[in-house]
């Protein structure tokens, strides 16, 4: 059976937008249950400014509390060298930098232009290479932006190529506000896969308008096999008005398995972590 990889982003993208900050022990229990469900790719927290995203202010404790284990890739979001240094001092398998295909969104989310963000990522990329850890790059608003509207696929590709040049081994193209339609995703995937190897690309869909699974389908047709999702469909971005939950992991896993892809996840344990995640934010 062919395989598809799910990158679980619930502990980070899922919890960063919750009004009530989820207590650290509950976050660690969520991560423990996710590991038990069989995830090998887990985005556990974000080493961002606690002034900007207080929900991730316990990043050091969360990463310290998530022990390494064989086959597990613990990833953390980092906006700059400072975040990378803090995470590497604890130990991590992947750093994920994030910028945008929209200038306005970059400014609102990380307080700099796209070009400046790429400059900021240079020392992060050097650190990742020096420490032998993976480097992932996100392109937010790769299809639609809450401030600028529709984004040209060429603009998203331009940023994806810049991230690849920087050394990102995987680039996640994100529909940050869940407004993309499958025709738009298809157009983006067509040009992205003509310029970059499919195994370097991932898709990150939010499900605000219920289009996420159609968009997964469009990406699958174009050869994408890595998808981000959040348990119980938690989440959203505090700087993207209208960004509701991420694509729910159970919906994604069920969809992929029906489409003939193995995800390696244990469905009973996934249900159990889903129930736990729901009551965390109830
Ligand atoms: P800034 O205010 O321009 O920069 O923020 P600064 O250097 O002046 O830093 C401000 C304060 O933060 C300072 O503290 C720094 O020390 C501290 P003060 O001196 O005032 O006490 N600081 C840090 N603290 C901890 N860790 C760090 C760090 N860096 C600075 N790494 C900055 C610029 C990038 C830091 C800020 O804008 C920021 O942290 N933004 C993050 C926003 C964010 O996390 N958004 C949500 C995640 S992105 C997302 O959800 C999209 C995604 O899911 C894909 C998709 O769906 O599109 C990935
Ligand atoms: Mg997101």
Q: What domains does the chain contain, in order, with CATH numbers?
A: 5-280 (3.20.20.70)
Give the pLDDT of residue 208. 92
Q: What is the pLDDT of residues 254-264, one digit of tens each?
A: 999 999 999 99
Paired tokens of 104: 């306005």
Task: Check if 261 has its Cβ closer than 6 Å to any atom of ligand 1.
Answer: no
Q: Are 87 and 127 in contact (CB under 8 A)?
A: no
Paired tokens of 195: 């310029």
Paired tokens of 93: 């398998």
Q: Are 134 and 170 in contact (CB under 8 A)?
A: yes
Length of the chain as a residue count: 282
Give the pLDDT of residue 3. 98
Q: Which of 48, 138, 226 for a ligand 1 pocket mutation test, highest count of atoms within 8 Å of Cβ?
A: 48
Please give the distance, rounded to the nearest whole angstrom, from the Cα atom of residue 245 to the centre of ligand 2: 8
Give the pLDDT of residue 239. 81
Which residues are CB-contacts of 48 (< 8 A; sequence separation ≥ 6)?
56, 59, 77, 78, 79, 83
Task: Check if 203 has its Cβ closer than 6 Å to any atom of ligand 1.
Answer: no
Task: Check if 49 has its Cβ closer than 6 Å to any atom of ligand 1.
Answer: yes
Atom of ligand 1 nearest to the CA of 204: 56
Give the pLDDT of residue 236. 77
Give the pLDDT of residue 244. 75
Please give the distance, rounded to the nearest whole angstrom, from the Cα atom of residue 187 to the centre of ligand 2: 20
Please give the distance, rounded to the nearest whole angstrom, from the Cα atom of residue 59 to the centre of ligand 2: 17
Instruction: Report CA torsion sign: 21, 22, 25, 27.
Output: negative
Residues of the chain with pLDDT under 70: 243
Indicate which ligand has the atom closest to the C-alpha of 46. Answer: 1
Percent of all residues in the chain with a pLDDT value above 70, rounded to a whole number: 99
């Amino acid at each position: 059976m062919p395989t598809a990889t799910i990158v679980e982003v619930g502990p980070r993208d899922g919890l960063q937008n919750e009004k009530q900050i989820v207590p650290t022990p509950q976050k660690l229990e969520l991560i423990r249950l996710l590991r038990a469900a069989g995830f090998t790719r887990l985005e556990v927290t974000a080493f961002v400014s606690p002034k900007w995203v207080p929900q991730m202010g316990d990043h050091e404790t969360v990463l310290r509390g998530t022990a390494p284990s064989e086959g597990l890739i613990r990833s953390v979001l980092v906006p700059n060298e400072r975040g990378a240094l803090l995470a590497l001092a604890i130990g991590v398998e992947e750093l994920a930098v994030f910028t945008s295909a929209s200038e306005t969104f970059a400014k609102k989310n990380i307080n700099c232009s796209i070009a400046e963000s790429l400059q900021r990522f240079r020392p992060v990329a050097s650190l990742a290479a020096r420490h032998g850890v993976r480097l992932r790059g996100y392109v937010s608003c790769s299809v639609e932006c809450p401030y600028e509207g529709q984004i040209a696929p060429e603009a998203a590709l331009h940023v994806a190529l810049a991230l690849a040049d920087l050394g990102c081994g995987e680039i996640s193209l994100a529909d940050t506000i869940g407004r993309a339609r499958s025709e738009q995703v298809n157009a983006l995937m067509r040009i992205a896969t003509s310029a970059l190897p499919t195994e370097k690309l991932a898709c990150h869909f939010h499900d605000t308008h219920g289009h996420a699974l159609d968009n997964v389908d469009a990406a699958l047709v174009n050869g994408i096999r890595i998808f981000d999702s959040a348990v119980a469909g938690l989440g959203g971005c505090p700087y993207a008005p209208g960004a509701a939950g991420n694509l729910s992991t159970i919906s994604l896993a069920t969809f992929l398995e029906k489409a003939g892809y193995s995800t390696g996840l244990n469905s009973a344990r996934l249900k159990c972590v889903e129930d736990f995640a729901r009551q965390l934010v109830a």
